[in-house]
Amino acid sequence: MNEMETVVDRFLRYAGIDTQSDENSDSTPSTAKQLTLATMLVDELKELGLQDISMDENGYVMATFEGNTDKETPVIGLISHMDTSPDFTAEKVNPVIRKNYDGGDIVLNPEKNIVLSPADFSELLNYKGQDIITTDGTTLLGADDKAGVAEIMTAISYLKEHSEIKHGIIRIGFTPDEEIGRGADHFNVKKFNADYAFTLDGGQIGELEFENFNAALATVVFNGRNVHPGTAKDQMINSMQVAMEFNSLLPQAERPEHTSGYEGFFHLIDMSGTVEKTKLRYLVRDHDMLRFEHRKDQLKKAAEWVRLNYGEKAIDLEIKDQYFNMREKIEPVYQIIERAEKAMKTCGVEPIIQPIRGGTDGARLSFMGLPTPNLFTGGHNFHGRFEYIPVQSMKKAVEVIVEVVKGRLV
């Protein structure tokens, strides 16, 4: 398949559009600039001759690529998100193609001495001799998930040009606000009308994921009592000190920096406070539902300890479930994972089946009635200045998409 240039050209064009989402916004999409890419994709889908093309009031783009076979085939969905992470600046993204990577340091920005080095990111050495797209060191790249968008569009273009490749109905979906956890909020599963789907939102070449964390957000507010420190004995309750005591009650080894694989964690993501009032926010994560519930119980027991020692009004704890492990919904239709495995091996890609240590739109969509595992895009180091993606991995992603949608269900 000679689609390498096409997928790169598409990616570079999409990457140049700032589509950063904003968790502080209440609108959908959270930023109007996401609609710039959405509108562009609608126009390109029309140029490709797809049907049922729509962009709703929330910025969700959907389209249908009609099948060309009389055989009974499932309706397969392909989904990627258009927004980029708010974790790092996405203004004036300037992708740079590094030809024939030699295995050494890549100087992203000579003026600022910003270097992408295999000493820090050893997986770079896996791509020696390949072409790598990097940032210029001042922004993120946006391969998460504009690489996925480009790969889907390129695969559809290839199928359009090669009608001899038989396939069933393919549904396309591009979503806003995935990076702030809202990508599935207004996704119309009934309208999408697929039997199952794949998100193109994974990392390194070969990734195939159908397990993810069960997730909750815990917000803890500590209410103190402020008096003059000169007369504070037995009167002051310093809410910041109480918050630190609360945090010390949680297992220190069960934090993101100390865990991997199937190990869950408590992740303190935000803290602010005064003597009078302090607020902490935690991400609570575990693949196993029983351990996930136990983690929430640990938070509740820590809160009870605070109440016992500082009074009933000393703490307010709120725990909100965010999403659940999609494995429960994928296992009954495990043939879709077998289909993806077979497609990868046919394309010369070794499947890497591993749990996602994070979330995905596919998890929520699976619980909304659309089983949606996740496929690789090829990118690395998402959400920051050291993000990169090998061109050859993008090409393989296109090949895998084409292979996945061919023929009968396994």
Q: In terms of Cα–Cα distance, which of 306, 310, 46, 39 is closest to 156?
A: 46
Given 18, 83, 131, 201, the catalytic residue: 83
Contact in structure between 98 and 115 (CB atoms under 8 Å)? no
State the Cα–Cα distance between residues 354 and 155, nearest whole angstrom: 25
Does the annotation mark 178 as catalytic? yes
Q: What is the CA radius of gyration of the chain?
A: 23
Q: 315-323 and 214-223 as β-strands: parallel, antiparallel, unpaired? A: antiparallel
- Residue written as tokens 């927004």? 83
In sequence order, what are the residues at sequence separation of 6 or more whose Cβ sits closer than 8 angstroms to the Cβ of residue 318?
218, 219, 220
How many whole angstroms separate alpha carbon 220 and alpha carbon 242? Answer: 11
Alpha helices per DSSP H over 162-288? 189-192, 239-248
| Helix, strand, coil percentages for the chain (3-state, nearest 5) | 35, 25, 40
Active-site residue 341, yes or no? no
How far apart CA 198 and CA 126 sit, in angstroms, is 26
Q: Which of 47, 14, 52 is nearest to 33 (CA)?
A: 14
Contact 280, 289 (CB under 8 A): no
The enclosing H or E element of 388 equals: strand 388-390
Single out the catalytic residue among 151, 178, 209, 361: 178
Length reported for the chain: 410
Which residues are identified as catalytic?
Answer: 83, 178
